[in-house]
Amino acid sequence: MWQQKIQQQTEKEQISVVNSKLFVEPDEFTINGDLLKFSARWLGQNQDILVYYRFHSKKEKEEFEKIQVPFVAETTGNVDSIKGPTNDNEFDFRRFMLTKNISNELQAKKMTVLPVLGNVGIKYRFSSYLHVLRKKMIDHLEKISQPLGWFTQVLLIGYQSESFQESMDQINKLGLLYLFTLSGMHVYYLVNLIRYLTRKMRVTQENTDILLLFILPIYGIIGGGSLGLLRSLLMSWLHIFSRRFSSVPLTGIETWSLVLLLNLIVTPAAIFSLGAQLSYLLTLILLLDHHKNQFIVGLKMGGFTIPLVLWHTYTWNIWTIPLSIMIGPIFDWFIFPVVIIGTFFSPLRGVCNQALIVLQWFFGWSSDLPGTIIFGKPPVLFVFIWLTLMLFYQITEQKIKLTVCLILSYTIAFCVIHFPIENEVTYFDIGQGDCSLIKTRFNKQIYLIDTGGKLTFNTEKWQIRNSRTNGETVVVNYLHSKGISRIDRLYLTHQDTDHVGNFPSISKNITVKQLMIPAGMEKLASFQRRLLISNVDPHVVKAVTDQAYPGKGLDLIQILHPFQSGAGKNEDSLVLLYQLYGKKFLFTGDLDQKNELKVIQKYPSLTADVMKTGHHGSKTASAPDFIEHLKPKLAIISAGRNNRYGHPDQETLLTLQKSAVPYLVTAKSGMIKIRTTFKGNFSVQTFNNNNNEEKKVKHAS
């Protein structure tokens, strides 16, 4: 039924809306630079929708920041379904939004804010007053001493400030994010605090229970309504209700089961999220092992979380389990009390803030310690095996045999991921940019050609957005999913941002052993600035031509261009030839037609089985004589969806058609993977909107 409902409300094709009205709560919107993002109730359509809007002026942004009450947004724009990932193992934002029962998004071009009162049929709900209170709390906590205000936002009202992102990344890296997500611990503290205060006021336990039955749902809204918080609140509510009004009170396991079933009925997609899986699983372990000491429980919780964390994040920190065991009491007796005291007792606010500064430093220091294992994404079969073995720990005495089985299965999964038997050439869907990966069998050689990067045009300070680059979210994420933690050679074909802009952010997450650039580019100020903020050692930078470090031999990349030192422009682009089992892969950067012809003049025997077309399919590249000379069996075009340049150009596509060259465009196909075999054939796999389709392309020996 849920699936049918989602399919019915999801727009199959993009539609335009004019003056469509949306009801927005004041704590539901976030502002990042010039981008406004919020989820809202689409009035008259009986569904929630995700909305994006770009501010046209600094004044408009400032006016929006002042809003603290519910409002109606009258919008004009385009509505479309939320798209799925287009790269292998990329974060599935579509599935994430389905956990909130949202399947459509609105790209608003025009927006007018209208008051709720005065719009016929729209009234304040009781929950709206709670959203107003939460918004005021968020704004107030932004103004007090930091990081105290940020910790309070996270721990008491489930809101994370953009300024607190770095600390949360450190906490996440250490595997301690569950401590800072509103969940069972926070509800436990809230219930105990209310019971303590009511006892002091001589309120009976029966009246306290009734009071809690009203307070817990209210806190669910003020706390942000996260799945972990709602699970814990509902379990507590059902437990109190059954004890007070039922002759047979529910046990902890029964309550847990009922809440899980309700969750599956209301938002079934939520169970695919890591947060939901950890929330329910760890709660179950605590219910089963509540009588055991914290050390044993901590080890078991670690054993249960590792499979899920590896499946979702591909990495594991060896300090997670010892820190989890140690930080539990610290959280109970230090972090939470300090946050409460500092927030509500202003005379002690300075001392509490300093204590949290020290804590913040500790998290930063701990996250920098060596110990992060890039494990990769395990096959789903292994995840089920590991969780099953951990469940057997609950009922069997043969702990040693189970431990041996766990160690052996983890070792097998690690080897399967880290020593693949296939060779692979991958063209990332990196938007309007270029990024390609060459990965040989057993991950013996890892080469990356360009990194992609986002172009910005006349951006003012108020428009700048804080966000991770797609070099991190796409490239690094994919490398980690394959258990890769280093790049043997990174080739930057030329200076353009859409080819090199992401290399600093990638280098901070993946070790770059050698950086190859066209001779002359090393002198550019733009390159030196990027090199300075990267983690690349300047001594591993090699400025190359076809004569300096040309590269020869099997499984190596040969440099065919530039012929001499230049300025890192399009006409100076690296041209790279990679050969494997008799198959040739050519990469040309943004090389122009004039220099393409010079390349085949100097290398008259040059051919290619797979060719990466120059300059994203622009008509400035892919000269007809060049294509006809190479006779590629497949052309790959890397271009962004709806890009402002009109790439790929129809002239280029016509050139490929005249030479009978089939082609794939990342804008339509998503990531493109080519796997080679000993027989001389290669298979092509494309990814688009989370639907994989595989094509076999056979060639004569």
What's the angle, vertex CA 131, arms to CA 277 and CA 11, rounded to 5? 60
User: Are 203 and 243 within one domain?
Assistant: yes
Q: How confident is the model at residue 532 (pLDDT cuts 50, 70, 90)?
A: very high
Percent over 90 (pLDDT), the chain: 62
- As a whole number, mean pLDDT of residues 640-659 equals 92
Determine, yes or no, domain membership for 263: yes
- As a whole number, mean pLDDT of residues 100-129 equals 83
pLDDT number for residue 553 = 53
Determine, yes or no, domain membership for 463: no
| Each residue's pLDDT tens digit, 1-12 | 888 889 999 998
Q: Is the pLDDT of residue 701 over 50?
A: no
Report the distance separating Cα 436 and Cα 307, nearest Å: 30
User: What b/e readout covers 284-297, taking b as 16+ CB neighbours within 10 angstroms?
Assistant: bbbeeeeeeeeeeb
pLDDT number for residue 351 = 94
Determine, yes or no, domain membership for 273: yes
Higher pLDDT, 556 or 80: 80
- Residue 11: name the closest of 76, 72, 78, 74 by CA: 78
pLDDT number for residue 136 = 93
Determine, yes or no, domain membership for 437: yes
The region of weakest confidence among 107-121, 378-392, 508-522, 523-537 is: 107-121
User: Are 347 and 392 within one domain?
Assistant: no
User: What b/e readout covers 188-204, taking b as 16+ CB neighbours within 10 angstroms?
Assistant: ebbbeebbeebeeeeee
Beta bridge partners of 515: 490, 541
pLDDT number for residue 607 = 93
- The boundaries of the domain holding residue 408 are 386-418
| Each residue's pLDDT tens digit, 210-232 | 999 999 999 999 988 888 888 88
Look up residue 640 and give its two tokens.
Answer: 């962004």
- As a whole number, mean pLDDT of residues 126-134 equals 90
Q: How confident is the model at residue 203 (pLDDT cuts 50, 70, 90)?
A: very high
User: Are 523 and 660 within one domain?
Assistant: yes
Determine, yes or no, domain membership for 572: yes
User: Are 472 and 532 within one domain?
Assistant: yes
- As a whole number, mean pLDDT of residues 258-270 equals 91
User: Are 526 and 628 within one domain?
Assistant: yes
| Each residue's pLDDT tens digit, 680-690 | 677 899 998 64
Q: 33, 53 in Cβ contact below 8 A?
A: no
User: Are 330 and 403 within one domain?
Assistant: no
| Matching residue, tokens 């790209």 | 107
Q: At what angle do helices 380-392 and 294-313 cross, to 10 degrees?
A: 170
| Matching residue, tokens 């995840």 | 383
User: Are 352 and 408 within one domain?
Assistant: no
665 backbone dihedrals φ, ψ, rounded to 5°: -115, 130
Q: How confident is the model at residue 97 (pLDDT cuts 50, 70, 90)?
A: very high
Residue partners of 680: CB distance under 8 A and separation at least 6 = 581, 582, 583, 699, 701
- As a whole number, mean pLDDT of residues 638-651 equals 91
Cβ count near 441 (within 10 Å): 15
Report the distance separating Cα 560 and Cα 528, nearest Å: 25
| Each residue's pLDDT tens digit, 328-387 | 778 778 888 899 899 889 899 999 999 999 999 988 898 888 888 999 999 999 999 999
Determine, yes or no, domain membership for 639: yes
Whichever domain contains 628, its CATH number is 3.60.15.10
Cβ count near 327 (within 10 Å): 19
Determine, yes or no, domain membership for 327: yes
Higher pLDDT, 320 or 516: 516
- Residue 315: name the closest of 367, 362, 373 by CA: 373
- As a whole number, mean pLDDT of residues 109-130 equals 79
User: Are 44 and 21 within one domain?
Assistant: yes
What is the C-alpha R_g of the chain? 28
The region of weakest confidence among 43-52, 458-467, 572-581, 616-625 is: 458-467
Report the distance separating Cα 579 and Cα 38, nearest Å: 49
User: Are 72 and 143 within one domain?
Assistant: no
User: Are 527 and 414 within one domain?
Assistant: no
Indicate the average pLDDT of the chain. 89
**For the chain, how many structural domains are there in total?**
4
- Residue 39: name the closest of 56, 15, 54, 22 by CA: 22
Percent over 70 (pLDDT), the chain: 94
Q: How confident is the model at residue 159 (pLDDT cuts 50, 70, 90)?
A: confident
Query: pTM of the full predicted structure?
Result: 0.91
What's the angle, vertex CA 233, arms to CA 229 and CA 238, rounded to 5? 150
User: Are 359 and 506 within one domain?
Assistant: no
Determine, yes or no, domain membership for 462: no
pLDDT number for residue 281 = 87
What's the angle, vertex CA 664, arms to CA 662 and CA 670, rounded to 5? 165
Q: 693, 668 in Cβ contact below 8 A?
A: no
pLDDT number for residue 698 = 36
User: Are 100 and 65 within one domain?
Assistant: yes
Q: Is the pLDDT of residue 546 over 70?
A: yes
Whichever domain contains 65, its CATH number is 2.40.50.140
